[in-house]
Amino acid sequence: MKKLTVVKVGGKIVEDENSLQQLLKDFSAIEGAKVLVHGGGRSATKVATQLGIESTMVGGRRVTDLEMLRVVTMVYGGLVNKNIVARLQACGINALGLTGADMNVMLSHKRPLKAMKMEDGTEQMVDFGFVGDVDKCDGQMLATLIGEGIVPVMAPLTHDKQGNLLNTNADTIAGETAKALAPFFDVTLIYCFEHAGVLTDPEDETSVIPHITAESFEKLKADGIVNGGMIPKIENALEAVRAGVKQVVITKADAIDGSKGTRIN
> Domains in the chain, start-ordered, CATH in brackets?
11-167 (3.40.1160.10), 186-265 (no CATH)
Closest CA to 82 of 67, 71, 68, 97: 97
Distances (CA, A) of 50 to 66, 77, 255: 17, 18, 34
Helices marked H in 94-182: 139-147, 170-181
Specify the DSSP class assigned to residue 130. Answer: S
Q: Are 251 and 260 in contact (CB under 8 A)?
A: yes
CB 3 within 8 A of CB 34: no
Q: If residue 73 lies in a helix (H) or strand (E), which one and from where to where?
A: none
Q: What is the pLDDT at residue 18? A: 84
Of the candidates 163, 173, 226, the residue with the CA atom closest to the CA atom of residue 6: 173
Check: CB of residue 141 under 8 Å from CB of residue 147: no
Q: From first to last of the 265 residues of the chain, give the pLDDT tens digit.
A: 899 999 999 877 888 888 888 899 999 999 999 999 999 888 999 999 999 999 988 877 889 999 999 999 999 999 999 999 999 999 999 999 999 999 999 999 999 988 877 777 788 888 999 999 999 999 999 999 999 999 999 999 999 999 999 999 999 999 999 999 999 999 999 998 888 899 998 888 889 999 999 999 999 988 888 887 788 789 889 999 999 999 999 998 888 888 889 999 8
Output the pTM of the full model: 0.92
pLDDT of residue 190: 96
Helices marked H in the chain: 11-14, 17-29, 41-50, 66-72, 81-90, 139-147, 170-181, 214-222, 230-242
